[in-house]
């Protein structure tokens, strides 16, 4: 149950249905990618959650720095015109 050098951390992504994207569901420890894939199957798809699994070494992920969230994310908050809500959709188009 302890993290050891022999069992690095892996991030698990599951695609639940055809047409959907793989979604991050959690992480696990495993010795290599083959065992990580098996462990992901046993831990995260026991209740029929998935049709496809990706495992990615956690150390392959580059993450944003929480202390930079002002610079990174606040500028987008005032750009409401980027949301596609300023158009009148003709009735003939129907459901988009």
Partner 1 sequence: MAVASISVSETPLVLYTLRRADDALILGHRLSEWCGHAPMLEEDMALANMGLDLLGQARELYSYAAKVEGKGNDEDKFAYLRDVRQYRNLLLLEQPNGDFARTMVRQFFYAAFADLYWRAMMRSSDTTLAAIAAKSEKEMAYHLRHSSEWIVRIGDGTEESHARAQTAIDDLWAYTGEMFAVDGSERALADVGIVVDPAGLRAAWLKTVTDVVREATLALPNSNWMQQGGRSGRHSEHLGHLLSELQSMQRTFPGATW
Token readout for 53 is 């699994």
Closer to partner 1 at the Cβ: 38 or 64? 38
Q: Binding string to partner 1 for residues 11 to 30, with x set by CB under 8 A, is what? A: -----------------xxx
What residues from 28 to 47 belong to the interface with partner 1 (CB under 8 A)? 28-32, 34-35, 38-39, 41-43, 46
Are 43 and 56 in contact by the 8 Å Cβ rule? The answer is no
Q: Does 52 bind partner 1 (CB under 8 A)?
A: no
* Positions in the binding site for partner 1 (CB under 8 A): 1, 7, 28-32, 34-35, 38-39, 41-43, 46
């Amino acid at each position: 149950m302890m993290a050891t050098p022999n069992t690095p951390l892996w991030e698990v992504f599951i695609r639940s249905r055809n047409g959907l994207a793989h979604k991050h569901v959690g992480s696990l420890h495993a010795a290599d990618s083959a065992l990580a894939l098996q462990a992901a199957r046993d831990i995260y798809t026991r209740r029929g959650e998935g049709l496809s699994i990706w495992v990615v070494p956690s150390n392959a992920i580059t993450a944003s720095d929480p202390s930079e969230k002002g610079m990174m994310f606040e500028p987008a908050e005032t750009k409401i015109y980027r949301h596609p809500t300023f158009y009148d959709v003709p009735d003939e188009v129907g459901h988009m």
